[in-house]
Homo-oligomer: A and B are copies of this chain.
Amino acid sequence: MEDEELMTIREMCAAFGVTPRTLRFYEAKELLFPQREGQKRLFTRRDRGRLKLILRGKRFGFSLEEMRQLLDLYDRGDAQEEQLKRTYEVARERLAQMERQRDELNEAIEELKGQLEWGAEMIASFRRPAAE
C-alpha cells in the first residue's frame, strides 16, 4: 500500500505512448485522477490501470465517454454482479455494432472491387481499339 510507484507525466507518456496533453485531457474528462504534489500530477497504479483499459477501449471503438461510464461501473460497484452484467451487455452491444460495421465495410469493398474491374475494362478499352 506504500510503494504506489507514482509516475510523472513524462513517464506515463513514455510508458503508454501518449502526449501530456492527452493525459491532462483525460483528467479533465474525469477518466484519470492523478494525485498532486504541489502543482505536479503524480499518476498512481490505479491511473495506469484505467489508462490501459481506456486505450484498449479506444481500439474497440468505444468513445471516451463510454469508457468513463464503464470505468465508473468497475469502480463504484465493488464488482457487484449487476454491474458486471451491465458492463458485459454494453460490450456485447458494441461488439454487435462492430460486426455490423465490418459487414457494411465488406459490402462496400465488394462493390468497389466491382467498380474497379469495370474501370479496368474501360482503361483497357482505351489501349486497344476495343475490337477483338
Contact = CB atoms under 8 A, between A and B. Distances in A.
For chain A, give the interface size range. Answer: 20 to 34
Interface in A96-132: 98-99, 101-102, 105-106, 108-109, 111-113, 115-116, 119-120, 122-123, 126-127
B127 A88 contact: no
Contacts of A81: 123, 126-127
16 contacts: A60-B111, A79-B126, A81-B123, A81-B126, A81-B127, A87-B119, A88-B116, A88-B120, A88-B123, A91-B115, A92-B116, A95-B112, A98-B108, A98-B112, A101-B105, A102-B109
Contacts of A101: 105
A116 B87 contact: no
A40 to B, nearest CB: 34
A122 B91 contact: no
